[in-house]
Amino acid sequence: MKLKFNVFMLCMILGMCVAKGQTTPVNPKLLKSSWPAYWVTSPNAMQREYGVYHFRRTFNLSAAPANFIVHVSADNRYRLFVNGKPVCSGPARGDLFNWYYESIDISSYLKRGSNTIAALVWNMGELAAVGQISNQTAFMLQGNGDPEKIVNTGKDWKVSMSKAFSPCSKDNMKRLQAYMVVGPGDQVDGKKYAWGWENLSYDDSKWDNALEITHPEPVGYGTDNQWTVTPRSIPLFEEQLTRFAFLRRSSGMEANSDFLLGKSALKIPAQQTVSILIDNSVNISGYPEILTAHGTGATIRLTYAESLFDAKGVKGNRNDIDQKEIKGNYDIYLPDGGDDRKFRPLWIRSFRYLQLDITTKDEPLEIRDIYCMKTGYPLEMNASFSSSDPTLREIWNVGWRTAQLCAGEQYYDTPYYEQLQYTGDSRIQALISLYISGDVRLMRKAILDFYHSRTPEGLTQGRYPSNRLQIIPTFSLFWISMIHDYWMYRHDDAFVKQFLPAINEITEWYSVRIDKDKKMLGPLTWWNFIDWDNFNDWGTAPGADNGNSSIITLQYAYTLNQAADLFKSFGHVSQSDEMKLLAAELNQNTFMACFNAEKGLIADTPDQQTYSQHAGIWAVLSGAVPQNEVPRIMQKLLQDKSIGQVTFFYRFYLTQALRKAELADVYYSELTPWRDMLKLGLSTFAEKPEPTRSDCHAWSASPNYDFLATICGITSDAPGFERVLIRPFLGELTQAECTMPHPSGQIAVKLQRTGESGVRAEIKLPEGLTGTFAWKNKTSKLHSGTQTIVY
């Protein structure tokens, strides 16, 4: 099927995606012309290799300004200071065509007379995290207008390459025997560090003048761009000082836990080797900071881990430490003996356990304080849930912590091991964000990130931003589903409409790979990942590589139906009809080829040698299964443990299929895997059932969505969330209530069982919102305001 597309749909509205996250205004002139400032670097730098740099600019002001807006960015990253005070960090990760900058009013940090703006800039070179795209070492600061142009980066800025930093912990994958690509640890030699470099009083007279590279160019402009700059589309992150919970053990000396509270110093004698294990009690992400004094020649190694390991490499209960050791990413700090020295890594660390391994030389060492500056995307809890089973509260809280730790400058699959944004993960994460916080800014950025990742074939990359190419064709389908989700829950036509050409290319990529004889998808290229554990070592299902995978064919049909909805809503009726017809054809032929009437199951391929829950799930969600067969097939999927079972990722889709079959009353009883994780002492939800690599993986936080969407039954019933459908599935619960944010206000639902099969529902909808309440085979219309329904 070749879909036609109107030419005008290829045109994008300039500025359509200008930051909704930042509130600081950007001078309109900077959005449509070359900037006066320069990208600058160190004249002595190896431009694409590892290096850490200090940039400074001292200037005079005749009066303290009421406003002083600057726009700042760097490659790879920066931390900005004004008169010694930390102001912000960035940039939000993007790519060279969409290089983000932060806009901030620094007037509150400035004063009459002499002032200094300073930036710590670093480039991890070939050791950079896979999520970090780069051109070369560079820094840029642009004043918003004439009053601020005095600080524009150019050759009057000073720069010094730091000799204190070197990379360590470079062999994490080998030591952990796991895929870990977050970048190296930091080794900092205090004797070589330029202490106080960010302060006004520091003497930078011997530093080099910065080397000018090129002028910044905004999106849509420039002819020889090295970075194309665009405003940050998500909010700036704050940092919160967080104290560690427990000192779990120490060796080499007796340690008092008071130093964790900042009440007293921990004093390590000279010529001593000490190990101290700190337990935060829950996973955390942020910048650990350690304040020291004295200790010339000492070595402090800080090792971070989500869990400890026994001698066989087994994690076991995460609360247990006996006969277990730590292994993980680490930093090394070498104190210079000075007073009130602070070590802080360049990038965030994610961990529950922190071990300090300390060796002193001839001088005692004082640890005067240690804590974590917790940070991440500012997701706010704007929803609530409670029920007759109070244990669901712990699942709710742990799931929310998981979602928060996996939200940074993009959605992270896992904050400890990868910090990469995958489409399959992000679709679930975005729905959690939308339901619990109502904040769609990170969802919008994720959709745009994958849009920017497209390859010449038309597919999105499986993860992005990424400096390594990885294509997962099934994840391109999830990207379309993610756009459909956004369209259903937010009225934002201009944003959605721009993606129609890309959606068309993805559906066409699949269309030309249809086996013309069997009318199913034929052999597919790239990594056709489905789920862990039940397929081959790469999670690729039968038929993906050789052709005729029912799972991928049916997911494609499901996605075609969603794409058809989008095309129809924007007036492309003929394309929509073609998509619907193709989806129906794929459904019919796949069902005929793969349905085993005797087993009552959908096979993974037409040879009917293997079966999985995944195939049945997509058969139900795509509409391939006749409606009268849906309940029976879903019951078989739950009962037959001999077929391939879903892991936490696909349990999200299992629940959706149960809802479609109107069998989601079993959802409550299907929460055993999450209860098992809690019994194992996890403070966040894991990537997959034990043994698992990641203890914090956002796709496993889906109960935070399903408690509202399945148990309480709140879903959108029209594009833009203009109507609501409330179809609860309480299971064995006798009571449940929740609130969730809606663009027009707050939806509140309170449910109480009456008798064996009845319900009393108290529902409050915001002004202007209407909808439907459904219970068993009964429905009632809902209006704005408060109403009570009794069945």
Q: For the segment 387-445, what is each residue's pLDDT rounded down to a tens digit?
A: 999 999 999 999 999 999 999 999 999 999 999 999 999 999 999 999 999 999 999 99
| 1 domain residue, yes or no | no
One domain, residues 250 and 220: no
Q: Are 474 and 528 in contact (CB under 8 A)?
A: yes
More confident residue, 13 or 438: 438
Q: Are 697 and 687 in contact (CB under 8 A)?
A: yes
Closest CA to 272 of 358, 186, 192, 368: 358
Q: Are 735 and 753 in contact (CB under 8 A)?
A: yes
Cα separation, 782 vs 764, in Å, equals 9
Q: Are 167 and 207 in contact (CB under 8 A)?
A: no
Q: Which residues constitute the domain of residue 85?
A: 28-166+191-231
What is the edge-to-edge ordering of all strands in the sheet holding 770-775?
Answer: 714-716, 723-726, 770-775, 778-782
Looking at residue 534, its pLDDT comes to 81
10 Å CB burial of residue 780 (0-12, 13-18, 19+) is middle
Cα separation, 353 vs 86, in Å, equals 27
pLDDT at 500 over 70: yes
Q: Where are the alpha helices (DSSP H) in 516-606?
A: 550-569, 573-594
One domain, residues 47 and 147: yes
Cα separation, 654 vs 668, in Å, equals 13
Which of 609, 640, 666 is the last residue before a domain boundary?
666
pLDDT at 2 over 50: no
**How many structural domains is the chain composed of?**
3
Q: Are 526 and 471 in contact (CB under 8 A)?
A: yes
Quickly state the pLDDT bin for 627 (edges 50, 70, 90).
Answer: confident
| Helices and strands counted in the chain (H then E) | 14, 37
Question: Token pair for residue 212?
Answer: 């000018």
Determine the distance from the C-alpha atom of residue 626 to the mean position of all C-alpha atoms in its chain, rounded to a whole number.
37
Separation in Å, CA 635 to CA 599, 629, 666: 12, 10, 10
One domain, residues 196 and 249: no
Sign of CA dihedral 704, 708, 712, 718: negative
Query: Count of CB atoms within 10 A of residue 483's CB?
Result: 23
Quickly state the pLDDT bin for 537 (edges 50, 70, 90).
Answer: confident
What's the average model confidence in pLDDT over 752-771?
Answer: 96
Looking at residue 176, its pLDDT comes to 92
pLDDT digits (tens, 9 = 90+) for 507-529: 999 999 999 999 999 999 999 99
Looking at residue 6, its pLDDT comes to 39
Which of 631, 666, 701 is the last residue before a domain boundary?
666
pLDDT digits (tens, 9 = 90+) for 282-300: 999 999 999 999 999 999 9
| 17 domain residue, yes or no | no
Looking at residue 3, its pLDDT comes to 41
Cα separation, 788 vs 329, in Å, equals 55
Looking at residue 533, its pLDDT comes to 83
Q: Are 158 and 55 in contact (CB under 8 A)?
A: yes
* Beta-bridge partner residues of 341: 292
SS3 623: coil
Closest CA to 620 of 708, 703, 560, 551: 551
Query: Count of CB atoms within 10 A of residue 765's CB?
Result: 23
Backbone phi, then psi, for 220, in 5-degree steps? 95, 0
Residue type, 256: N
Cis peptide bond upstream of 184, omega within 30: no
Residues 6+ apart with CB under 8 A from 571: none
One domain, residues 108 and 246: no
What's the DSSP call for residue 611? B
Determine the distance from the C-alpha atom of residue 450 to the mean position of all C-alpha atoms in its chain, rounded to a whole number.
13
One domain, residues 222 and 273: no
| 318 domain residue, yes or no | yes
pLDDT at 9 over 60: no
Residues 6+ apart with CB under 8 A from 361: 270, 271, 296, 297, 298
One domain, residues 43 and 63: yes
What's the DSSP call for residue 529? B
Cα separation, 395 vs 561, in Å, equals 33
Beta strands in 727-769 (DSSP E): 735-742, 745-754, 758-765
Question: Token pair for residue 159?
Answer: 């720069």
Q: What angle do CA 154, 155, 158 make, to 5 degrees?
A: 100
What's the average model confidence in pLDDT over 66-83?
Answer: 98
| 423 domain residue, yes or no | no
One domain, residues 258 and 117: no
Cα separation, 77 vs 442, in Å, equals 20
One domain, residues 220 and 301: no
Cα separation, 10 vs 8, in Å, equals 5
| 69 domain residue, yes or no | yes
pLDDT over 90 for what percent of the chain? 94
| 383 domain residue, yes or no | no
Closest CA to 335 of 356, 363, 374, 303: 363
Q: Where are the alpha helices (DSSP H) in 228-305?
A: none
Q: Say which residue the tokens 């009883």 belong to.
A: 669
Which of 635, 666, 697 is the last residue before a domain boundary?
666
Cα-Cα end-to-end distance for the chain = 48
Looking at residue 656, its pLDDT comes to 98
Quickly state the pLDDT bin for 478 (edges 50, 70, 90).
Answer: very high
10 Å CB burial of residue 662 (0-12, 13-18, 19+) is middle
SS3 165: strand
Looking at residue 22, its pLDDT comes to 65
| 636 domain residue, yes or no | yes
Residues 6+ apart with CB under 8 A from 16: 494, 495, 498
One domain, residues 286 and 210: no
- Inter-axis angle of helices 648-660 and 613-622, to 10 degrees? 40
Quickly state the pLDDT bin for 21 (edges 50, 70, 90).
Answer: low
pLDDT at 632 over 50: yes
Pairing of strands 158-161, 51-61: antiparallel
What's the average model confidence in pLDDT over 637-651?
Answer: 96
Of the listed ranges 66-80, 239-253, 529-543, the least confidently predicted one is 529-543
One domain, residues 570 and 530: yes
Cα separation, 41 vs 765, in Å, equals 55
- Inter-axis angle of helices 648-660 and 630-639, to 10 degrees? 150
| 172 domain residue, yes or no | no
One domain, residues 106 and 247: no
Pairing of strands 113-123, 337-343: unpaired
pLDDT at 8 over 70: no
CATH of residue 301's domain is: 2.60.120.260
Looking at residue 23, its pLDDT comes to 76
One domain, residues 290 and 227: no
Q: What is the reported pTM?
A: 0.95
Helix (H) or strand (E) holding 486: helix 473-489
pLDDT at 15 over 80: no
Cα separation, 145 vs 156, in Å, equals 18
Of the listed ranges 5-14, 266-275, 310-319, 545-554, the least confidently predicted one is 5-14
Average pLDDT across the chain, whole number? 95
What's the average model confidence in pLDDT over 100-109?
Answer: 98
pLDDT at 10 over 50: no
